[in-house]
Amino acid sequence: MLLLDALIARAIRYANRRILAFPESDTVFRLPTADPQRRYLLYLHIPYCVVLCPFCSFHRVRFNEGAARRYFECLRREIDLVGNAGSRFDELYVGGGTPTVIPGELIRTLEQVRGAHPLVSISVETNPDDIEKESVRRLRDAGVNRLSVGVQSFDDTLLREMQRYDKFGSGRQIAGRLERQKRAFDTLNVDMIFNFPHQTEASLENDLQVLVDEIQVDQVSWYPLMAAASMRRSMRQHMGTVDYARERRFYELIAARMLDAGYTRNSAWCFSRKHGLYDEYIVDRDEYVGLGSGAFSYIDGRLTASTFSIDHYLRLVDADMTGMVRERTMNERDRMRYFLMMQLFAGKLDLVLAEARFEGRFRETLWPELTVLKWLRAVCERGNTLALTERGQYLWVIMMREFFAGVSDLRDEMRHHVSEENRVELP
């Protein structure tokens, strides 16, 4: 089984390198002409962090209040640019970094989007030390109905290895804050990570007990530890070497515990007590617009990436352009594969919808991939639905872990080109 898991991971890694290989250009790309009948999900990236965790591969820079205020100002201008070009949004997801580094600027940005677009849901990420601040609680009044808190673990030893203990407090302190604020928003999501180098089964069991038995949090996203190549040295230095041989066992323990406690599986690694937004917006909506430095967009088969240089981003927006500097147009087969991967990440795929979307060519084109998935007993066909089996759930954890690791490698490549003042210094 371990050999098969490793082979699948390698295959996905190879496919990622091909799909995500698109060079930076001097051309500034614009979004495709908006379909006036469509409503898209809008993603906003806030790259500023007070603490740079050694395992994190997302685009982040050290917090500077003056620079961050200038960034928010330009982000609001970019939002207006795409809105004036015809794009319309009904969902908003704000990630980072730490979007709540300056709550007032974030609230102003949310209010701007709400004033121009008929949003039905807003999700915002934050850190454990922010959730009890009055300024963050004001986010609810600004329309936020889902708050996602990056906890990662309640184990104090692991928190120290992550360099989060001094800033965010002990596991018990974090749990107390979550308990007191768990009904402040329609959905409170907690981000956790499993398979840290020094994480034990007992430590993982304790995390599950705190979340499920004590706090009874609405939603938990259990991410497998994944890091870009550039982060592995830092991780080995601060946290040790990752052991993928035990990842499956840890995941199966998590899934069994969450399902037994009455949670449902929204995706391969997201578990909810009630309906709510996904932590991966790309699962819920297969097309989205990403704005801000380091953001990605996927519209009509086109994948675009915005510059990782904060200075370059500010200059582009000041010139009434978006920050998008890379573009790749996927061929039909790659678009089908992406659709298959994201739909099954959420557990099932509507074959009628798939055929309609790709003009009756979906199964005909992807028959090799579908045959392999059935041979692996990863999927089963029930009427017009293709659904993941229990075996397939972990297979999709591997696939998505490698997919996001590939995206992180692309981030690293783009980060390499930014100016020295914007380059993230690894802890």
Q: Are residues 223 and 344 in the same domain?
A: no
Q: Are residues 231 and 362 in the same domain?
A: no
How is residue 368 written in tokens?
């090799």
Q: Is the dihedral of CA 194, 198, 203, 205 positive or negative?
A: positive
Q: Are residues 341 and 226 in the same domain?
A: no
Q: Are residues 346 and 261 in the same domain?
A: no
Burial 4-43 (b: 16+ CB within 10 A, else e): ebeebbeebeebbeebbeeeeeeeebebbebeeeebbbbb
Q: Are residues 157 and 275 in the same domain?
A: yes
d(CA 247, CA 238): 20
* CATH code (residue 194): 3.80.30.20
10 belongs to a structural domain: no
314 belongs to a structural domain: no
91 beta partners: 41, 121
What pLDDT is recorded for position 52?
81
* CATH code (residue 363): 1.10.10
205 belongs to a structural domain: yes
415 belongs to a structural domain: no
Report yes or no: 191 and 149 within 8 Å, Cβ to Cβ.
yes
What pLDDT is recorded for position 53?
78
What total number of domains does the chain contain? 2
Report yes or no: 394 and 195 within 8 Å, Cβ to Cβ.
no
Q: Are residues 350 and 282 in the same domain?
A: no
How is residue 117 written in tokens?
């677009």
d(CA 312, CA 318): 10
Other CB atoms within a 10 A radius of the CB of residue 72 amount to: 22
d(CA 307, CA 315): 11
Other CB atoms within a 10 A radius of the CB of residue 116 amount to: 14
* Helix 247-260 × helix 201-208 angle, to 10°: 20
Q: Which of 266, 286, 306 is the last residue of a domain?
A: 286
Q: What's the pTM value of the predicted model, to 2 decimals?
A: 0.91
Residue at token pair 């003056």? 66
Q: Are residues 120 and 252 in the same domain?
A: yes
What tens-digit pLDDT sequence spans the chain (427 residues)? 666 777 767 777 767 666 777 766 666 666 656 677 889 999 999 999 988 877 777 888 889 999 999 999 999 999 999 999 889 999 999 998 899 999 999 999 999 999 999 999 999 999 998 888 888 888 999 999 999 999 999 999 999 998 899 999 999 999 999 999 988 899 999 999 999 999 999 999 999 999 999 999 999 999 998 866 666 666 677 777 888 889 999 999 999 999 999 999 989 999 998 765 555 555 567 789 999 999 999 888 888 889 888 998 999 999 999 999 888 888 999 999 989 988 999 899 999 999 999 999 999 999 999 999 999 999 999 999 999 999 999 999 988 888 887 777 777 676 665 544 444 433 3
Report yes or no: 139 and 184 within 8 Å, Cβ to Cβ.
no
How is residue 17 written in tokens?
């390198």
Q: What is the 3-state secondary structure (H, E, C) of the chain?
A: CHHHHHHHHHHHHHHHHHHCCCCCCCCCCCCCCCCCCCCEEEEEEECEECCCCCCCCCCCEECCHHHHHHHHHHHHHHHHHHHHCCCCEEEEEEEECCHHHCHHHHHHHHHHHHHHCCCCEEEEEECCCCCCCHHHHCCCCCCCCEEEEEEECCCHHHHHHCCCHHHHCCHHHHHHHHHHHCCCCCEEEEEEEECCCCCCHHHHHHHHHHHHHHHCCCEEEEEECCCCHHHHHHHHHHCCCCCHHHHHHHHHHHHHHHHHCCCEECCCCEEECCCCCCCCHHHHCCCEEEECCCCEEEECCEEEEECCCHHHHHHHHHCCCCCEEEEEECCHHHHHHHHHHHHHHCCEEEHHHHHHHCCCCHHHHCHHHHHHHHHCCCEEEECCEEEECHHHHHHHHHHHHHHHHHHHHHHHHHHCCCCHHHCCCCC
The one-letter code for the residue type at 71 is: Y
Q: Are residues 195 and 137 in the same domain?
A: yes
CA atoms within 13 A on the CB side of 19: 24
d(CA 214, CA 415): 41
201 belongs to a structural domain: yes
Report yes or no: 278 and 237 within 8 Å, Cβ to Cβ.
no
223 beta partners: 193
Q: Are residues 211 and 266 in the same domain?
A: yes
Q: Are residues 125 and 226 in the same domain?
A: yes
Q: Are residues 279 and 151 in the same domain?
A: yes
What pLDDT is recorded for position 401?
84
401 belongs to a structural domain: no
What pLDDT is recorded for position 31?
64
Q: Are residues 263 and 383 in the same domain?
A: no
313 belongs to a structural domain: no
419 belongs to a structural domain: no
Report yes or no: 17 and 406 within 8 Å, Cβ to Cβ.
yes
What pLDDT is recorded for position 32?
58
Q: Which of 286, 306, 323 is the last residue of a domain?
A: 286
The domain in which residue 64 lies consists of: 25-286
